[in-house]
Amino acid sequence: MGKAPKKRSLADKVRKTKTSSEIKNNPFEVKINRKKFDVLGRKSKHDVGLPGVSRSKAVNKRKETLLKEYKQKNRCSKFIDRRFGEYDTKMAPEDKILQRFTMERQRVHEKKDVYNLNEEEELTHYGQSLAEMEKFNDVVNSDDESEEKGLLSAELTASHFGGGGGLLRKKALGEEEEGGQRAKSRQELIEELIQKSKQEKRERQVQREEAQELTEKLDQDWKNIQSLMVKKTPKADKQEEKPKLEEYDMMVRELGFEMKAQPSEKMKTPEELAKEEREKLQKLEADRLRRMMGEEVVEGAQSQIHFSADDLNDGFVLDKHDKKTLAYQDGKWNMGEEEEEEEEEDEAEDEEGEGESSEEQESDAEEDEVEEEEEEEEEEEEEEGSGEDDGHSDLESEQESENEEEEEASPKPKKTLSKEEVKAQQEAAKAELPYTFAAPESYNDLKDMLRGHTSDNQRLIVARTQKSNHPSLAVGNKLKLQKLFGFLLEYIGELATRSPPELSTIDKLIPEVYALCQMFPDAACKAMQSILGDAAHSMEETLEVKGHAAFPTLDMLIYLKVTALLFPTSDFRHPVTTPALLFISQALTKCPVRSLQDLTSGLVLCSLGVEYVSFSKRFLPELINFLVGTLHLAVQDKASLGYIVVPPFRASGKYSDLLVLSSSESCRSWSKKSLPLSATQQLDLGNDPDRDTHRLTCLSTCLDLVKRCCLLYKDLPSFTHIFQPIRTLLSKHLSTQTLPEPLQELSSEIVEAISSMPVTQSALVFDKRKPIPLKLLTPKIVEVLDYGKKRGSTREEREKERLKHKYKREFKGALREIRKDSRFLAREKLNEVMNRDAERKRKVKELMGSLATQEGEWKSLKRKKK
């Protein structure tokens, strides 16, 4: 019974496909979309349409959806058939019935099971119910099974018994089954089904069990073999050999690590190294120039540090570009030479290294740690190396080395203690210094940590703090170090405000600050910005109240200098240095000079200004104004000036004679000396000669700055006008006064430099632009490379165009569908009306008929009566 309908449905399918092909072949059903021309290689999907088919499809679809909805309109209740598989069209009706039946049985069975206590507790053996086993139907793999179940067994039997061929046998079997099945009742069928499923389950269990048994056996076998294998080596030998092995291991590992620690590339000759270094510097320089021009920074070109492939990008190898590879120079190890230069620090380093290594040897001498330690040591060495000035001058470009020679020539801060003393002191102190430091949580923590240490030790402490809290070591370390940067800045400010200011400590701390800044540029930028912002804000406030402000204090001057050290001053626009420059300019324009301290502060600011613009050669008008004002302060005779002094200076007044010498005697004894930075804060010049010396030093500084400005701004078109007041001052006013020899030389040099500049200029014109071409009438010919794509627009435009097109198409389609829907509905309504009318007509007719017959009968009756 189950088979017959299946067959019929199959036949139906066949017939249907037949009809579809028939339809396709039927010329009346087919509409051919004529193409205007053929395009080679293009396959069109819609060259043939079947309007009839598609229309009937559409109508059917509407009947299923729209019509149902229509009929359901204004009705709240709905009939849903929840019988199993009711809406599943794929299921054959027989299957549906079968499934429904099994489900029902299962439900009943479950209900029964709830109270059946015995059934629940099933005894098992090897995970198999004993009850099942007792039936001994394990082997029942007979042929008289159902078709699907029989598949496996049939094949098995076929392979086991061979003969006759599986196919033949199977066929016979099927026939036999068919014959048998016909005799079976519905009840039997169902029982069979149940049995089948049970059996299947059991089979699976058996299989699993077998597999388990096999693996167990394998394990046992392996154990036997293993014990044999182990027993082969005698115990006595083992004990002896063990230390040997370790020694060997250690050697191997050491060798391995040595190899690792060395550069993977081949050793480079000094020339190669120098070349590489120069290239890197050139690249960085080019980057700087580009930023100076204010061009947009290209992503990627940004990276200033060369990253290795293993870099975690956490800034651990911060001084990578200064890393010195192992190299030989004149037969000597390059690095050794450096180390010789400053013994003290190196020794400290060695000690530190030893200390660290001993520490770590105490703990487990595991490979990772050894590696780390080595790395750390190495890094420290690098840093020390970079901390020294000219350790590798011979490796750098010529220009660099020249610079460094200059640096050497420039006076260094003198040391009060002799070398031995320093060494002894340091050693003594170092014995106390721990090797790890917790990162300070607050500014006071940092202060406590650094209190009472020498400046060198302070630096060491900060360096060690930085190392022991490296971001790669723990999660929170990054934040801690970022905070440390802020605290360090604050500490520097505090050092500068102490009296006397401890500038040498600041000097020592600079490399650490730089290193931290390189690690966390963003945090450094924020910290510096907030300092600048606060200072500028307070200055603005005093300006609003008083109209003028006091010169920035020494800590602010130091901050400005640190800014220049940490951030590039030549950028066209930089989040830190641009405000810093503005601050300098603001201070130079709004702070009136009322004492020699003020003047010294002003000159420091001027020097900073010159430093800021020394590379980019940008024009800083306030700088020139201040220098003019300073020179003006030195003019004795303020009548008939011939130039205009710009605020904050005044042509005459209480403080306009600050730099006028009290006696010309002091000119002879004067010699140029560096001014201490602390002179910006307090200056105790008791007597006139001292004051005169200070005045002359200020004047010489001022003149030198003027000279530098002359060089910087010589390319400006209005150079002569900018330097006009200076020229007048120097040539007319200051030349008449008695000044020391070097100053007079300097001033005459400046005057010469100014007057040697060309005064003629060519008139301004606009930049030449490409002329706008006339419109041409010849057609534009564009070579078409890929067909089928719209051209002549950018990607976005094309995308927009495509979306617009799609929208239009969809809109049209939707409109058409809606129209069709309403047409369909209208037709349905009409049909309804017609049907209703027909019905009515039929009923009326019926009634009429019955009435007519009644009438007829009545009439006949009447006639009969009569």
Partner 1 sequence: MAPAKKRNVSSVKTAEKSAKKAKVDLSKTVERILESRKHANDVFDILESLQAEQEKEVISAVAACSELFCALLERKELFLGKLPGEEDALSGGYSAEDKYRIFMRHRYTSCVEILLEHLSHEHAMCCLMKFAAGEGLHPLEDLDWSEHYTFPERYTLSFVALVDNLLSKATDNSLLISRFQEFLEMEDVRYYVMSSIRDNAVVPVYQNNVFTLMSSISMPNQESELTNFMVKQEAKHEDWKAAKLHEHKRVFERMWLGFLKYKLPNSMYKKVLVILHDSILPYMSKPTLMIDFLTAAYEIGGAISLLALNGLFVLIHQHNLDYPDFYKKLYNLLEPSVFHVKYRARFFHLANVFLSSSHLPVYLVAAFAKRLARLALTAPPTALLIVLPFIYNLIRRHPSCRVLIHKPSAEDEPFEDPYLTDEEDPAQCRALESSLWEIKSLQKHYHPDVAKAALLINTPLSEQEDDISETLEVTTYELMEKDLKQPEIKSVPLEFETATRLLKGGGDVLGQHFCLA
Residues 260-299 close enough to bind partner 1 by CB under 8 A: 284, 287-288, 291, 294, 297, 299
Site for partner 1 in 14-53 (CB under 8 A): none
Q: Which is nearer to partner 1, 150 or 629 (CB)?
A: 629
704 touching partner 1, by CB under 8 A: yes
* Site track 175-214 with partner 1 (rule: CB under 8 A), x = hit: ----------------------------------------
Q: Which is nearer to partner 1, 273 or 627 (CB)?
A: 627
Q: What is the CA radius of gyration of the chain?
A: 50
Which DSSP string do the residues of 27-96 spell out, in sequence order?
A: TTT-EE---SS--TT---TTSEE-HHHHHHHHHHHHIIIIIHHHHHTT--------STTTT-TTS-HHHH
Answer for which of 5, 621, 813, 856 binds partner 1 (CB under 8 A) is 621
Number of Cβ within 10 Å of residue 743's Cβ equals 21
Answer for which of 173, 274, 536, 631 binds partner 1 (CB under 8 A) is 536
* Site track 405-424 with partner 1 (rule: CB under 8 A), x = hit: -xx--xx-xx----------
Nearest distance in Å: CB 388, partner 1: 8
Nearest distance in Å: CB 384, partner 1: 11
Q: How far apart are CA 604 and CA 597, in angstroms?
A: 11
Nearest distance in Å: CB 719, partner 1: 8
Which residue carries 């500028």 as its tokens?
A: 536
Q: Which is nearer to partner 1, 121 or 767 (CB)?
A: 767
Q: How far apart are CA 279 and CA 272, in angstroms?
A: 10
Q: DSSP letter at 298?
A: P
Nearest distance in Å: CB 64, partner 1: 56
Nearest distance in Å: CB 510, partner 1: 5
Q: Which is nearer to partner 1, 173 or 335 (CB)?
A: 335
Q: Are 290 and 568 in contact (CB under 8 A)?
A: no
Site for partner 1 in 764-783 (CB under 8 A): 764-767, 769
Nearest distance in Å: CB 305, partner 1: 9
Site for partner 1 in 303-332 (CB under 8 A): 304, 319, 321-322
Q: Which is nearer to partner 1, 186 or 769 (CB)?
A: 769
Q: Which is nearer to partner 1, 158 or 702 (CB)?
A: 702
Site for partner 1 in 743-762 (CB under 8 A): 758-762
C-alpha count within 13 angstroms, C-beta hemisphere, residue 523: 20
Return the HEC string of 547-612. Answer: CCCCCCCHHHHHHHHHHHHHCCCCCCCCCCHHHHHHHHHHHHHHCCCCCHHHHHHHHHHHHHHHHH
Q: Which is nearer to partner 1, 96 or 714 (CB)?
A: 714
Nearest 5°: the CA angle 856, 857, 859 is 65
788 touching partner 1, by CB under 8 A: no
* Site track 146-165 with partner 1 (rule: CB under 8 A), x = hit: --------------------
Q: Which is nearer to partner 1, 355 or 521 (CB)?
A: 521
Distances (CA, A) of 381 to 354, 377, 494, 805: 13, 6, 30, 67
Identify the CA nearest to 820 among candidates 33, 828, 69.
Answer: 828
Q: Are 467 and 376 in contact (CB under 8 A)?
A: yes
Tokens encoding 578: 């641009």
Q: Which is nearer to partner 1, 619 or 655 (CB)?
A: 619
Answer for which of 624, 631, 729, 750 binds partner 1 (CB under 8 A) is 624
Site for partner 1 in 128-147 (CB under 8 A): none
Task: Point out which span in 153-161, 641-649, 737-745, 823-831 binds partner 1 (CB under 8 A).
Answer: 641-649
Q: Which is nearer to partner 1, 493 or 648 (CB)?
A: 648
Q: Which is nearer to partner 1, 567 or 824 (CB)?
A: 567
Identify the CA nearest to 669 among candidates 597, 740, 617.
Answer: 740
Identify the CA nearest to 699 among candidates 640, 650, 740.
Answer: 740
Query: How far does Cα 808 stand from its chain's mean position?
Result: 40
Site for partner 1 in 542-561 (CB under 8 A): 547, 558, 561
Identify the CA nearest to 697 among candidates 673, 679, 678, 676.
Answer: 673
Q: Which is nearer to partner 1, 284 or 753 (CB)?
A: 284
Q: Which is nearer to partner 1, 274 or 703 (CB)?
A: 703
How does 394-426 read in b/e, with b if 16+ C-beta sit within 10 Å? ebbbeebeeebeeeeeeeeeeeeeeeeeeeeeb
Assign 448 to helix, strand or coil: helix
Nearest distance in Å: CB 67, partner 1: 59
Nearest distance in Å: CB 533, partner 1: 5
| 503-519 helix and 367-387 helix, angle to the nearest 10 degrees | 130
Q: Which is nearer to partner 1, 450 or 503 (CB)?
A: 503
Task: Point out which span in 95-103, 355-363, 683-691, 763-771 binds partner 1 (CB under 8 A).
Answer: 763-771
Identify the CA nearest to 644 among candidates 660, 630, 658, 625.
Answer: 625
Site for partner 1 in 647-676 (CB under 8 A): 647-648, 674-676
Site for partner 1 in 337-396 (CB under 8 A): 386-389
Nearest distance in Å: CB 540, partner 1: 4
* Site track 708-737 with partner 1 (rule: CB under 8 A), x = hit: x-------xxxx-xx---------------
Q: Which is nearer to partner 1, 99 or 614 (CB)?
A: 614
Q: Which is nearer to partner 1, 120 or 522 (CB)?
A: 522
455 touching partner 1, by CB under 8 A: no
Site for partner 1 in 466-505 (CB under 8 A): 503-504
Assign 642 to helix, strand or coil: coil
Which DSSP string do the residues of 181-194 spell out, in sequence order?
A: HHH--HHHHHHHHH
Q: Which is nearer to partner 1, 487 or 612 (CB)?
A: 612
Name the residue type at position 61: K
Task: Point out which span in 139-147, 613-621, 776-784, 835-843 binds partner 1 (CB under 8 A).
Answer: 613-621
Name the residue type at position 242: K
Q: Are 565 and 514 in contact (CB under 8 A)?
A: yes
583 touching partner 1, by CB under 8 A: yes
Strand partners, 49: 31
Q: Which is nearer to partner 1, 91 or 510 (CB)?
A: 510
Assign 129 to helix, strand or coil: strand
Distances (CA, A) of 746 to 152, 438, 704, 743, 750: 111, 54, 7, 5, 6
Task: Point out which span in 64-72, 427-435, 523-531, 801-809 binds partner 1 (CB under 8 A).
Answer: 523-531
Answer for which of 395, 516, 524, 556 binds partner 1 (CB under 8 A) is 524
Q: How far apart are CA 172 and CA 455, in angstroms?
A: 105
Number of residues engaging partner 1 in binding (CB under 8 A): 116
Return the HEC string of 138-153. Answer: CCCCCCCCCHHHHHHH
Which DSSP string do the residues of 483-540 spell out, in sequence order?
A: HHHHHHHHHHHHHHHSSS--HHHHHHHHHHHHHHHHH-HHHHHHHHHHHHHHHHHHHH
66 touching partner 1, by CB under 8 A: no
Answer for which of 173, 461, 576, 743 binds partner 1 (CB under 8 A) is 576
Task: Point out which span in 40-48, 73-81, 568-576, 790-798 binds partner 1 (CB under 8 A).
Answer: 568-576
Nearest distance in Å: CB 526, partner 1: 9
